[in-house]
Amino acid sequence: MVTLSQFDVLALKRDFPILSQEVKGKPLAFLDSAASSQKPRQVIECLEDYYRRYNANVHRGVYKLSEEATFAYERARGKVARLLNARSPREIVFTRNTTEAINLVAYAWGGANLKPGDRILLTVMEHHSNIVPWQMLAQRSGAALDYLPVDSDGRLALEALDSLLSERTKIVAVTQQSNVLGTINPVAEIVRRAHAVGALVLVDAAQSVPHMPVDVQALDCDFLAFSGHKMCGPTGIGALWGRRELLEAMPPFLGGGSMIKIVELEQSSYADVPARFEAGTPAIGEAIALGAAIDYLNEIGLDRIHEHELALTSYALGRLGDVAGLTIFGPRTIAERGAAVAFTLDGVHPHDIAGLLDGEGIALRAGHHCTQPLHRVLDVMATARASFYLYNTTEDIDRLVVALDKARKLFS
């Protein structure tokens, strides 16, 4: 596999205007892409071009600007479909983000299909966006929640899966990659075992789609959600992929314009998918710019990006392992994890780490990362997290290690 060279990364870094700045007199080292990635000029210019040149609503006008906007918007849907190897662009629903996509399934599919006595299977490592919507569904429907535990190495305890799955399990919701532990989960195996008992599977791919090739047909899952802002795209745009037969059987999530066929005073009939789930004026420019982000990543190659991140993570685990008093969470086997490394430093609160590192021009996350149940299992209130992307280098990691040593000495 061909990886990104140091020269490639430095060249790519110039595509991201924000990365050329200094923070408190130091060059910016951005190590928080798991929260939200930076945007290349190609995406910024695409978004600006829409607002400057053909800003108009979609699917409604017959004039030139509207037709151009509609074409670009639907072309972006096609790019998402090809990215995921979906069977049809009609299986792609644009949403605001992963959170909205999961809520859509929980409300529309869950509300129509779950009843008292049914069970929903989650995992302990899920982001709150893949826990809270299912809790709310359970409260509305009378269904119950089950959780697949995490072992001491930060992997899902798959040996417990068969005992948790039963004919009463109606849906399994699982992250493909943990935003804290970096663990890449064996989704295809989980899907196979879930389908064996008749359960559907929703995949939270917020941390995987930006970083590696993801094929919904190979995974054989039933729903998959991701966000554009984590993959060089704008905020406010994401997507839900669903099997077409499932989407067509689901009632609308929101009511309003664009999602209808005929509206009468007493009742309405609904549009075909995906329009049924895209009520109101969508995030047109953002969807088009997401298409530009997909073009950008495809031109580089998601396989190359993934290999680059594996090399960075391997380097980071080695260098961070030399910092006295530092504890790393998650698998130590590189093939099992993505480009996120969460850690604690003895005697130093993660928020203090983040504050001190900001003074060194290093941006990283501190807190529970919207995974409070996981942090309780880890027996820590918070962690610091460094996360890498295509524009990071080993120099960023070296600066991180130097700053952590400084923090340790300062607080000791």
Looking at residue 348, the DSSP 8-state letter turns out to be B
Domain-by-domain residue ranges, the chain? Answer: 6-30+301-411, 45-298
DSSP 28: -
The pLDDT assigned to 157 comes to 97
Q: Which residues of the chain have pLDDT under 70?
A: 1-3, 6-7
Could you read off the pLDDT of 30-86 as tens digits, one per residue? 999 999 999 999 999 999 999 999 999 999 899 999 999 999 999 999 999 999 999
- Report the catalytic residues: 370
According to the model, what pLDDT value does residue 301 have? 95
* Crossing angle (nearest 10°) for helices 284-300 and 41-53: 150
Which of 51, 166, 153 has the alpha carbon at shortest distance from 120? 166
Q: Measuring CA to CA, how many Å separate 153 from each of 8, 109, 131, 162, 181?
A: 34, 34, 22, 20, 9
Q: How far is CA 389 from the centre of its chain?
A: 13
Asked if the 6-30+301-411 domain carries CATH number 3.10.20.30, the reply is no
28: amino acid identity, one letter: L
| Region 45-298: CATH code | 3.40.640.10
CB 179 within 8 A of CB 169: no
| Confidence (pLDDT) at 2 | 58
CB 211, CB 305: distance < 8 Å: yes
Phi, psi at 184, each rounded to 5°: -95, 115
CA nearest to 135, candidates 103, 108, 157, 112: 103
Task: Please state, as a whole number, how many other Cβ atoms lie within 10 Å of the Cβ of residue 167.
Answer: 10
Residue pair 116/170 in contact (Cβ under 8 Å)? The answer is no
pTM reported for the whole predicted model: 0.97
- Using alpha carbons, list the distances in angstroms from residue 112 to 2, 184, 244, 250, 368: 47, 31, 16, 7, 33
Comparing 6-30+301-411 with 45-298, is the CATH topology the same? Answer: no
The confidence score (pLDDT) of residue 77 equals 98
Instruction: List, for residues 115-153, the tens digit of each pLDDT value.
Output: 999 999 999 999 999 999 999 999 999 999 999 999 999
